[in-house]
Amino acid sequence: TPWSGRPPLFFECSPEVVREEAGSWARLFVVDRDARRLRAVREQLVHAGKDRAALFFHGRFADFRRDLQTVAGLVILGGEGGPLSPGDAVELGALVDPGTPVLLLPASGEETLEALCRTGLFAIPEKTGGGPVRRVHSTELCSAVGVPLPESAFNEVKRRLDERYFLLEELGGGPYTPVAAETRPAREALLDLLRREGRGWPRRPAVLPSPLETLPGRRPWPRISVVTPSFNQGAYIEETILSVLNQGYPSVEHIVVDGGSDDGTLAVLDKYRRRLAHVISEPDRGQAHAINKGMALATGEILTWLNSDDMLAPGALHAAAFAFFTSGADMVAGLCGIYENGRLTGYHLTGAEDGPLPLEELLDLEGSWTAGRFFYQPEVMFTRELWERAGAHVAEHLRYSMDYELWLRFAEAGARLHVVGRPLAWFRVHPEQKTAKPEAYQAELRQVRRAFGTAGASRKPASGKLRHGLRIVMVNDVGYAYGAGIAHQRIAQALSGAGHDLHAVMLRDDSEGLPGSSGGLERAVKYVAECKPDLLIAGNLHRASATALLYGRLARVAPVHAVLHDFWPVTGRCAYPM
């Protein structure tokens, strides 16, 4: 009997076994590395009218765990695909909690039993019944990394996989068909649960490497002042406050300046009042006025403001302080995670280089600012010395673009920027935010630029449309699947976040689709040529039956950088054999 709410998982069982047992459960997982056997199991269940309860998955335990992020309440090992390896046993241990029964059908053999017990993750019970079916249970060393799938998520993932595998007949010939897109609802269910139960950042401190007690040379960590302007953001402000309090930073001063909210914000402020440096709640003249009031109280060497619907990223304050120490810069900017409905949808990283903050490019609204070359406000911190040098205020007559106007004054004051490639902030996208209507804030941006440009003859925007990023094509064999594919994706995300124009191409026709992909060697080369890239980054090629000679053909189009994820082009073998 499986644990309540946790379906049983049938792994590489014969069609007859699954058909006989399928009627006992409202939901079950059928997982197999053999596409033909998976089809046969489904056909048996369809004929028996029992297929509606079964979610079919083509892959290994590792693939199932990564894509669905769920947990099984009972595991039946059919053994039709041969004995499990110790690596398979370890992956199974991440799918179950302690005490979960695992049944080994006769075909599993003694090798599978030995592989399970050798890991220490599974043990044979002291009392076992007779018969051909062997039984083990998971030990205290096991810990499922996922959660039980809600019924809605289970049904949606099942529908998508059935369509991909059986309606479109896109079951791959290997041991796994990439289905990251089809299984997304399962992973989103996990994130929703973590958020509802307060198990994720910022409601729980993040597990990060322990920071140094002091900066090098036994210098103390600098005091950082964070000012949060607020008005009727009761739905968000608690997480904003917690994202500062749970930094674990030894010298932080959080100042909240509320404009007289009447939506529950005051109850949140009362809850954390003793842990905040200052709390003000009174009518004000708007966001910029609140920021100025808070900055007047701030005593930190490093300053920033954090709006009441945004958050600091885990470890942001230590990272920023260390960046100021090592660079000697006046401003530090980092990655900004973009969140919508509680889910990460992308990252932003400034395209500006380390060094003087470029005034002319800041004044180029169309070519630089609105193109995302510069900053999301919460990703920036600055020194008190720069703040005072630039006038020690934000412009209170502005509703949307007080940050842009401040960066202009920073640039004019000779600010030097340093960029770090790690998250410093989380920016929320939601319908209630002021910048939800681009036409309103863009009009104000143009007014700021005109006013700033007329204040001095030297202030004028750069002529023409500037192209700051590179056009880069990412090429590999199977897209963003498997370890090397995931690594390739992360490289692409980092480059995209830095403002480059990314195009992705995979070489195998049966791989999971990528935006702009072509599929097939000849079409890939043609597509790359049509992109006219400045740079081409090649990853793994061998699963598309391509060799390193392909680099030569691609090099006729653009400079090629090869990322040797597993050294196949050099050694002719995979460093991670199945």
Task: Identify whether the C-beta of residue 278 lies closer than 8 Å to the C-beta of residue 230.
Answer: no
Structural domain for 538, as ranges = 471-571
Long-range contacts of 352-356 (CB under 8 A, 24+ apart): 352/417, 352/419, 353/417, 353/419, 354/327, 354/329, 354/416, 354/417, 354/418, 354/419, 355/416, 355/417, 356/411, 356/414, 356/415, 356/416, 356/417
Are 405 and 275 contained in the same domain? yes
Are 393 and 480 contained in the same domain? no
What CATH code is carried by the domain that includes residue 501? Answer: 3.40.50.11930
465, part of any domain:
no
User: CA neighbours within 13 Å on the CB side: how many for 427?
Assistant: 23
Are 441 and 295 contained in the same domain? yes
Residues 83-139: pLDDT tens digits? 999 989 999 999 999 999 999 999 999 999 999 999 999 999 876 666 788 999 999
Q: Two tokens at 62?
A: 């590792």
Where residue 549 falls among pLDDT bands split at 50, 70, 90?
confident
d(CA 557, CA 532): 7
Q: What is the mean pLDDT of residues 26-43?
A: 96
Give the SS3 label for residue 320: helix
What CATH code is carried by the domain that includes residue 345? Answer: 3.90.550.10
Give the SS3 label for residue 436: helix
What pLDDT score was predicted for residue 48? 92
561, part of any domain:
yes
φ/ψ of residue 229, rounded to 5: -80, 145
Residues 151-176: pLDDT tens digits? 999 999 999 999 999 988 888 778 99
What pLDDT score was predicted for residue 575? 56
Radius of gyration of the chain (CA): 28
Q: What is the mean pLDDT of residues 22-49?
A: 94
Residues 448-499: pLDDT tens digits? 998 887 654 455 444 333 345 788 999 888 788 777 888 888 888 878 766 6
Q: What is the DSSP string of 500-548?
A: -EEEEEE--TTSPP-TT---SHHHHHHHHHHH--SEEEE---GGGT--T
d(CA 262, CA 165): 53
The residue among 300, 306, 174 whose CA lies nearest residue 240 is: 306
Q: Which of 254-258, 323-327, 518-522, 566-570 has the lowest mean pLDDT?
A: 518-522
Where residue 375 falls among pLDDT bands split at 50, 70, 90?
very high
267, part of any domain:
yes
Question: 388 or 526, which is more confident?
Answer: 388
Q: How far is CA 246 from CA 206, 210, 279, 385, in A?
A: 8, 14, 18, 27
What pLDDT score was predicted for residue 506? 82
Task: Identify whether the C-beta of residue 492 lies closer than 8 Å to the C-beta of residue 502.
Answer: yes
DSSP assignment letter at 215: B
Q: What is the 3-state secondary structure (H, E, C) of 230-267?
A: ECCCCCCHHHHHHHHHCCCCCCEEEEEEECCCCCCHHH
% of residues, the chain, pLDDT over 70: 89
% of residues, the chain, pLDDT over 90: 56
259, part of any domain:
yes
Using omega within 30 degrees of 0 as the cis cutoff, is the peptide bond preceding 356 cis? no
Are 448 and 551 contained in the same domain? no
Where residue 500 falls among pLDDT bands split at 50, 70, 90?
confident
Q: How many domains does the chain have?
A: 3
**Domain final residue pick, 171, 191, 211:** 191
Average pLDDT, the chain: 86
208, part of any domain:
no
What pLDDT score was predicted for residue 357? 94
Number of Cβ atoms within 10 Å of the Cβ of 234: 17
Task: Identify whether the C-beta of residue 432 lies closer than 8 Å to the C-beta of residue 367.
Answer: no
What pLDDT score was predicted for residue 201? 85
What pLDDT score was predicted for residue 190? 81
Are 129 and 232 contained in the same domain? no
Q: What is the mean pLDDT of residues 345-367?
A: 87
Q: Two tokens at 93?
A: 């241990």
Q: What is the mean pLDDT of residues 236-259?
A: 96
213, part of any domain:
no
Are 56 and 167 contained in the same domain? yes
Residues 411-442: pLDDT tens digits? 999 999 999 988 999 999 887 776 656 777 88
Residues 265-324: pLDDT tens digits? 999 999 999 999 999 999 999 999 999 999 999 999 999 999 999 999 999 999 999 999
d(CA 70, CA 72): 7
Q: How far is CA 298 from CA 155, 387, 395, 431, 458, in A?
A: 53, 12, 18, 31, 34
Q: What is the mean pLDDT of residues 507-522?
A: 54
Question: 297 or 522, which is more confident?
Answer: 297
372, part of any domain:
yes
What CATH code is carried by the domain that includes residue 20? Answer: 3.40.50.150
207, part of any domain:
no
Strands (E), 319-372: 331-340, 343-348, 355-356
What pLDDT score was predicted for residue 145? 75
Q: What is the 3-state secondary structure (H, E, C) of 168-186?
A: CCCCCCCCCCCCCCCCHHH
0.75 surpassed by pTM: no
